[in-house]
Structure 1
Amino acid sequence: MNDTTAGRFTGRTIIVTGAGSGIGRATAIRIAHEGGRVVATDVVGERLDALRDELGATGLETVVGDVAAADTIDAVLAAAGDRVDGLANVAGIMDAFLPPSEIDDATWDRVFSVNVTGPMRLTRAVLPLMIAAGRGAVVNVASEAALRGSAAGAAYTASKHAIAGFTKSVAFFHGPQGVRANAVAPGAVATNIEAPMRSEYAAGRVGPLMQVAIPPVAQPEQLAAAITWLLSDDSANVNGVVLPSDGGWSVV
């Protein structure tokens, strides 16, 4: 990886969720290549095994589990130890583009559980360590759906608006205590996240807009570059920002 910054995370422990694939995996790899100790979590154990095969055991701790579950969060904190310098909340799921008239309770609850409640609980868990240290960085993965109503279904759109608001709340309340919180808002990215369109109405409403408005699909490494920048001291004066990394979609 010739675009990394050598030693940027040396001596630092960074938690990365959704680290088994896509943006999370690219983020974990970049942090490790830049000298950081990574606590990587994912719901699929085989993905973490593959990550360990690539990075080796040095500087990598892995935790298998659902990021929204309390026992997973406990295991992540135990693996991190008494120091957490950064948290990248990357794990997320889609909502089959179901519009408000078709959204079911199970989809709504699950999307909010993974996209909002999990990041909130993990952020809440690491904040005491960051506050005690007088420094720390939280980066949440929002979405173009946090900026508009035409990028996904009702649950995903609402969840990403919520994570953007939560990010700003963390920045406001805990910025004076040395904690920065920012978010990235990706557009289309080549990841393993499942994004079927189960609504005929949504296909007719959203499909034509996406065909003309979405820039080329980004690679996970491009998002990892933005996330690691926000986690690092290179962005020391940036707090409470929702940063589009979408190839210009947000200006259309």
Structure 2
Amino acid sequence: MSISSLQDKVAIITGCSSGIGLATTRLFLERGASVFGIDIGAQPQKLAEDFSTFTFYQTNLTESQAAEHAVAKCIGKHNRIDILVNCAGVSDGFSSADTIHDEELEKVMAINLTVPIHLMKACLPAMKEQKSGTIVNVASKASISGACSGLAYTASKHGLVGATKNVAWRFHQEGIRCNAVLPGGVPTNIASSVQMEHFDSAGFNAFFPVIQLHVSKDSEGAPVPIIGADDVARGIAFLSSDESKMINGAMIPIDNAWSTI
């Protein structure tokens, strides 16, 4: 049995079709979990072909009752939920308080904060009945810093840390744990979620010196993230496993010491 084994666990993972969500889904499946993967995008076909323990559910989790329906589908198939990984997220265009557009603010807050709260709410009854359950929220360096992203993303990820701590304490006597990982820059397709019509170049230029302290550079001087999706996935797997059974309410940076500044 591998370290941080997830053998026979049932996990819901959002954002399973790409980036950190995809890497986490594959790792969980390799470590013996049954994964109910949720994404607004297309099914990751390779996972469906490689693992009979993978179930894909396509939906837009920002729609009314979508989280509840997704959780009900998972329970209908597996009769339980052991792990929830809130991984799906979007970025902003580095907009500041004086440039933020309502459309951008509402979208980022809905996907990065409201959806995870709805999913936690939907999963908690089953976890309370089982007297066990683990939640891992994918937060960010921007959860603990105001100097590396735009207003909407920063506010949403700060909020997710607050929600994580609240859930951890509220249910810590009921066998339920809630932790978060705080990744640094990771090469995923999250940049494609930016509404470029709202990109704030002045805001970006204000934050870029802090970002440069964390990333490497390619031959042309462009920033290159150094943290891989697999690095984050391993952290999520650890927090989801019994290896971390006394870790609750923790915010775990995965950023090669960027969090120290």
TM-score norm. by structure 2 comes to: 0.89
For 1:62, what is the secondary structure of its paired residue? strand
Question: Partner of 1:225 in structure 2?
Answer: 234
Q: Distance in 2 between matches of 1:236 and 1:157?
A: 29
How much has 1:77 moved relative to structure 2? 1.6
Contact between 1:10 and 1:34, CA under 8 Å: does it hold in 2? yes
Letter in 2 for 1:174: F
Question: Partner of 2:48 in structure 1?
Answer: 52
2:136 aligned residue (132, 136, 139) = 139
Letter in 1 for 2:245: A
1:8 aligned residue (5, 9, 18) = 5
Q: Which deviates the most, 8-17 or 150-159? A: 8-17
Q: Distance in 2 between matches of 1:75 and 1:60?
A: 18
Unaligned runs of 5+ in 1: none
Tell me whether 1:17 sits opposite 2:18 in the alignment. no
Contact between 1:67 and 1:91, CA under 8 Å: does it hold in 2? no
Question: Partner of 1:76 in structure 2?
Answer: 70
Tell me whether 1:210 sits opposite 2:211 in the alignment. yes
1:127-153 deviations in Å (ceiling 9; x for gaps): 010011111000000000001001110
TM-score norm. by structure 1 comes to: 0.92
How much has 1:214 moved relative to structure 2? 3.8
How much has 1:72 moved relative to structure 2? 3.2
Question: Partner of 1:154 in structure 2?
Answer: 151
Unaligned runs of 5+ in 2: 217-224
How much has 1:200 moved relative to structure 2? 2.1
How much has 1:104 moved relative to structure 2? 0.6
1:163 aligned residue (157, 160, 163) = 160
Q: Distance in 1 between matches of 2:10 and 2:208?
A: 41
Question: Partner of 2:39 in structure 1?
Answer: 42
Q: Distance in 2 between matches of 1:78 and 1:59?
A: 18
1:32-75 deviations in Å (ceiling 9; x for gaps): 11111000011112x4334313x33x111110012222453244
1:66-105 alignment runs, 5 A limit: 66-81=60-75, 82-105=79-102
Letter in 2 for 1:59: T
2:58 aligned residue (64, 79, 83) = 64
Superposition RMSD in Å: 1.8
- Kindly tell me the number of residue pairs found equivalent between the two proteins: 246
Contact between 1:139 and 1:184, CA under 8 Å: does it hold in 2? yes
